[in-house]
Structure 1
Amino acid sequence: MAHSIFIRDLGSFGGRRPQMLACDIADRIEAETLVRSIATAYHDHGLNPATEVYWFNYNGSVHEIYVWPS
């Protein structure tokens, strides 16, 4: 099963619709590694343990980044 990576800006009221960042990643572990690498590239980042969604702060706005089955 292929996986995709999505990113969502939570800065605006209610958040913006998720945008696809990458698609057709064959291995879920590879997709999760990419998500973790992108999030941790930012100084202010973390993992929401309740949802297992990574987040990072960029330019004063919080973004979520996560893997979703295609």
Structure 2
Amino acid sequence: TRYARWPTQAITYRLGREQIFALRERAQRELGAAFSLQRFHLAFMRQGTIPAGYFGEELLRALRATAP
């Protein structure tokens, strides 16, 4: 199986999930009442494939730009 060949693959999914939730919490704190889970998801998907180091700041910048 995949996990037998690459045992660290499963943990990368878990780490990514934790980073996404942390980023969502940060966006909620920064945007307050202007935060929208739907806008978060749309902005998240629109980021495409960019280096992980830039992803969080770019996503927050996009959310701030579209906040009502």
Structure number with higher strand proportion:
1
Query: TM > 0.5 between the two?
Result: no
The alignment's TM-score, normalised by the length of structure 1, stands at: 0.29
Structure number with higher helix proportion:
2
Higher relative contact order (CA 8 A, sep 6+): 1
The alignment's TM-score, normalised by the length of structure 2, stands at: 0.30
